[in-house]
Structures are given as structure tokens and as C-alpha cells.
């Protein structure tokens, strides 16, 4: 499903193009979650920031961080992909993620539709191997554990562990039931 932030902001009569402050983040989050009430398990949510110029760290904290935490359960599992991110949005999201990692001892990242300023299709701190795997999945749409093991020159159980880690971060999807060992891009 697609969440168009501009439309939500317009419905809530929030002045554009900048989405700043915690209260604005909370309002957008609540409306977006309401719109996601019919989400199915494993669905990808494209969060489209077209028409938005700046989101500050308070907004990121109240909106995006909460969405990512929600995507990891305990309810329905879903995957977030960001579209139309400006350079300042990327800077501010990255800054919040860095703080989150430092203080929670827990990793966080999000997939992007377009190439970011860091020359990647995600924002957040990943290892080089994880980055390679995400790129491979993005290009090939899906891959088996054996393919990934070959890509990163590791044993299959190590590749599986890496893919499961990306799944836990909601950066890669598990293949359909029965497709054991298959992982898909977000």
C-alpha cells in the first residue's frame, strides 16, 4: 500500500512543505496507522514524501521510528519503503537512527526507493555484506540462501543468518510459504 504523507498532511490541515515538531509527527502517525488498518501480513508500505521538503528529528522520532517499530511486531508484520526523500530528510533520519543505535544497542534501517546521498538504497548502519545482499535482492527481486552464500563467499548457514537478520530489520522479506530458503526484496 502507498501512504502519501502530503495527502495526510493536507487532510489534517498541516502547513506544507515542512513537517516539523513532535505533535505533527504524532498526528501524521495516527492518521497513517488508521489508513493501514486493512494491511495484510507481509505487505510493503510505500511511504511517499512527495511534496514534503523537510522532516525534522522530532517528526522522525514520532512518525518513522514508531512505524518501523510497529513493522517488527508483535502485530502484523509489514515492510516500509521510503520514496521521494530529500537530502535533509536523509540527514535527519540518519541522525535519529544513529542515536537509536547508540542508546538502544539495537540496529535500525529503512529501505528507500531511490539512491540516497550515501549511494545506497537504504538509510541506516549496515555491514558491507548486508549492503551487498540488499543490492543483490533489489536487482534480482528474490534469491535463495545458496545464491547469497555464493555472493558473500560464506557458508549457507551464515548466509541464512544474515538474511534472517535483514528480515528482522524488515529490510528483506521471506519468500512465500513453501519456498524454503527464498528471500525477496522490499
Partner 1 sequence: MTDGIETTLLLPDRCRDVYAFEDIIGLAMRISRERVSNLDLSALSFIEPYSMLSLLLLGRNHMRNTGERLGLVNIPLNIHQYLARMDFLSAGVFDVASRLDEKLLYRRSSFSNRVIEVTDIPGRERESVRAIAGVIAVFRKRARHILKYWLNTEIIDYFVTVISEVCQNIFEHSLDSGYLAMQTYSVGSEHVVRLVIMDSGIGIRESFSAREELASLAGSHVIEKALTTPISSKRRFGYGLCQVNAIIEKLKGSIYIRSGESSATVLHKQKQSGASHMFLRDDLAPFPGTQISISLFG
Q: Which residues bind partner 1 (CB under 8 A)?
A: 15, 17-18, 20-24, 53-54, 56-58, 61, 86-88, 91-92, 95-96, 98-100, 102-103
122 grid coordinates:
537504504
Nearer to partner 1, 49 or 78 (CB): 49
Q: How many CB atoms lie within 10 A of CB 181?
A: 16
Angstrom distances, CA of residue 133 to CA of 143, 185, 186: 9, 10, 12
Residue 173 neighbours by CB under 8 Å, 6+ apart: 42, 44, 79, 167, 183, 184, 185, 186
Nearer to partner 1, 58 or 185 (CB): 58
User: Could you tell me the smallest distance in angstroms from the CB atom of residue 48 to partner 1?
Assistant: 18
User: Could you tell me the smallest distance in angstroms from the CB atom of residue 99 to partner 1?
Assistant: 4
Sign of CA dihedral 23, 28, 29, 33: positive
Nearer to partner 1, 102 or 139 (CB): 102
User: Could you tell me the smallest distance in angstroms from the CB atom of residue 65 to partner 1?
Assistant: 11
Sign of CA dihedral 178, 179, 183, 184: negative
User: Could you tell me the smallest distance in angstroms from the CB atom of residue 83 to partner 1?
Assistant: 18
Question: How many C-alpha atoms does 27 have within 13 Å on its Cβ side?
Answer: 16
Nearer to partner 1, 95 or 140 (CB): 95
Nearer to partner 1, 20 or 36 (CB): 20
81 grid coordinates:
519503503
User: Could you tell me the smallest distance in angstroms from the CB atom of residue 136 to partner 1?
Assistant: 31
Amino acid at each position: 500500500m502507498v501512504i502519501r504523507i502530503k495527502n495526510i498532511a493536507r487532510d489534517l490541515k498541516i502547513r506544507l512543505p515542512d513537517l516539523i515538531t513532535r505533535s505533527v509527527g504524532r498526528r501524521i502517525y495516527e492518521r497513517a496507522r488508521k489508513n493501514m488498518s486493512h494491511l495484510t501480513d507481509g505487505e510493503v508500505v510505500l511511504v511517499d514524501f512527495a511534496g514534503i521538503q523537510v522532516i525534522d528529528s522530532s517528526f522522525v522520532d514520532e512518525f518513522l521510528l514508531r512505524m518501523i517499530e510497529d513493522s517488527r511486531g508483535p502485530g502484523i508484520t509489514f515492510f516500509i519503503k521510503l520514496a521521494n526523500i530529500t537530502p535533509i530528510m536523509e540527514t535527519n533520519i540518519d541522525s535519529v537512527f544513529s542515536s537509536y543505535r547508540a542508546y538502544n544497542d539495537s540496529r535500525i534501517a529503512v529501505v528507500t526507493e531511490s539512491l540516497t546521498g550515501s549511494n545506497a538504497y537504504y538509510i541506516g548502519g549496515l555491514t558491507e555484506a548486508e549492503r551487498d545482499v540488499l543490492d543483490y535482492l533489489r536487482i534480482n527481486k528474490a534469491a535463495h540462501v545458496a545464491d547469497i552464500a555464493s555472493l558473500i563467499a560464506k557458508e549457507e548457514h551464515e548466509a541464512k543468518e544474515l538474511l534472517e537478520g535483514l528480515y528482522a530489520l524488515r529490510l528483506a522479506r521471506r519468500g512465500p510459504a513453501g519456498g524454503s530458503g527464498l528471500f525477496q526484496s522490499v
